[in-house]
């Protein structure tokens, strides 16, 4: 269902090579994008792989007013043997469907999602950094219907763009400091916390700015109802490693985004003999366990950074460190395993890695 309209004048190879030297995150984009349209009468149609360019949208497009927008974040990697792979793209496709349902948007068939992502990876394969970096893929969908009435829109565009990104941990994995906000909430019961929608991020930005003002890297949110239980960071899930070998993470109760990295960590943790517990963990417990030494490690996880140790927690009530603020062995081991599977140097016993044939583009 995808029509190919390759870029008439793609970025020259030497310019691309310069851009790939230090791409940063989310600033350098590839030459193409994929778009598929949806209308109430025609369903999904007009799929195109085409030159990346700005959208022309009516000022009344519903996304500008009522924020019907969802997205995904995933990566294509070059493995040690030079193959191009995606990591659990089927899980992203499924989550995109559930996010769409929550936002009263049309479900994009999983096979269309996968075909679009793979088509973009294939046509822009030369943009995948060869070594430590990866190609970050951003599928998203927005309401484009020009109508100011409040109801689900009847026109949408699904789009995938891509940007090469460098190694997140260049120069070693430095533990992050998180800010526990007592004022702001990310998601409330019955709200949109489990959907990957732009609105959740808009709601988190002020708290994130507060975190930065307090010398922290990221904000960690507590539950909206009682401000007692740890939920997650603005865009990463959170785990706790106890001295007795338990691995604790907050349960998916509707206010937490069901991270694919989170799911991998649960699986790998179980397999490595940890006692995995999905249970509410209060901020008071966190503080007490860090002080007593019962808590050995804490880390955040998500596609962008994979796994990042949390070394210090600050809040309006004070600060505390976890194991002296240095990364612990369980955190490091889980990251090495996960990155190893993604890079094809650790056996993929779960069928998580999906190969993309890019011969045509490489020829």
Binding site for ligand PLP (CB under 6 A): 73, 196, 232, 235-237, 257, 259-262, 302-303
Min dist. Cβ of residue 204 to ligand PLP (A)? 8
Q: Which residue matches tokens 């973009």? A: 120
d(C-alpha 44, C-alpha 237), whole Å: 32
Which is nearer to ligand PLP, 96 or 158 (by Cβ)?
Answer: 96
Which is nearer to ligand PLP, 201 or 320 (by Cβ)?
Answer: 201
Q: In this structure, what token pair is assigned to residue 157?
A: 């565009």
Min dist. Cβ of residue 174 to ligand PLP (A)? 20
At 10 the three-state DSSP class reads: coil
Q: Which 8-state DSSP code applies to residue 253?
A: S
Write out the DSSP string of 126-194: GGS-SSS-EEEEEEEEEE--B--SSS--SEEEEEEEEEEE--TTTTS-PPEEEEE-SS--S--TTSSTT
Min dist. Cβ of residue 281 to ligand PLP (A)? 16
Residues 6+ apart with CB under 8 A from 177: 215, 216, 217, 218, 310, 311, 312, 313, 314
Min dist. Cβ of residue 280 to ligand PLP (A)? 17
Question: Which helix (H) or strand (E) is 57 found in, with range?
Answer: none
Min dist. Cβ of residue 113 to ligand PLP (A)? 14
Contact call for residues 190 and 66 (beta carbons, < 8 A): no
């Amino acid at each position: 269902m995808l029509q190919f309209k390759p870029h008439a004048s793609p970025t020259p190879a030497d310019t691309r090579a310069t851009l790939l030297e230090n791409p940063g995150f989310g600033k350098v984009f590839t030459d193409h994008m994929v778009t598929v349209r949806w209308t109430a009468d025609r369903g999904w149609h007009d799929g195109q792989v085409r030159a990346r360019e700005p959208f022309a949208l009516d000022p009344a497009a519903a996304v500008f007013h009522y924020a019907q927008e969802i997205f995904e974040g995933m990566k294509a990697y070059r493995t040690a043997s030079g193959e191009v792979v995606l990591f659990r793209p089927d899980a992203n496709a499924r989550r995109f469907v559930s996010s769409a349902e929550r936002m009263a948007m049309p479900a994009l068939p999983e096979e269309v999602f996968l075909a679009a992502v793979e088509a973009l990876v294939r046509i822009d394969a030369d943009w995948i950094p060869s070594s430590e970096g990866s190609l970050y893929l951003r599928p998203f969908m927005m309401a484009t219907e020009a109508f100011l009435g409040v109801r689900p829109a009847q026109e949408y565009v699904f789009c995938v763009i891509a940007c090469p990104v460098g190694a997140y941990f260049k120069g070693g994995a430095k533990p992050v400091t998180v800010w526990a906000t007592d004022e702001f909430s990310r998601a409330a019961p019955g709200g949109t916390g489990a959907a990957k929608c732009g609105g959740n991020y808009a709601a988190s930005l002020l708290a994130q700015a507060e975190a930065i003002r307090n010398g922290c890297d990221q904000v960690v949110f507590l539950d909206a109802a009682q401000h007692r239980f740890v939920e997650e960071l603005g865009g990463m899930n959170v785990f706790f490693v106890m001295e007795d070998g338990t691995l604790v993470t907050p349960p998916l109760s509707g206010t937490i985004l069901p991270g694919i990295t989170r799911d991998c960590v649960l699986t790998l943790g179980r397999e490595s003999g940890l006692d995995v517990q999905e249970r509410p963990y209060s901020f008071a417990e966190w503080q007490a366990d860090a002080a007593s030494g019962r808590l050995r490690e804490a880390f955040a996880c998500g596609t962008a950074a994979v796994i990042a140790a949390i070394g210090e927690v600050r809040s309006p009530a004070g600060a505390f460190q976890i194991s002296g603020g240095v990364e612990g062995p369980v955190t490091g081991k889980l990251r090495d395993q996960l990155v190893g599977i993604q890079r094809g140097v650790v056996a993929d016993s779960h069928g998580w890695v999906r190969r993309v044939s890019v011969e045509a583009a490489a020829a």
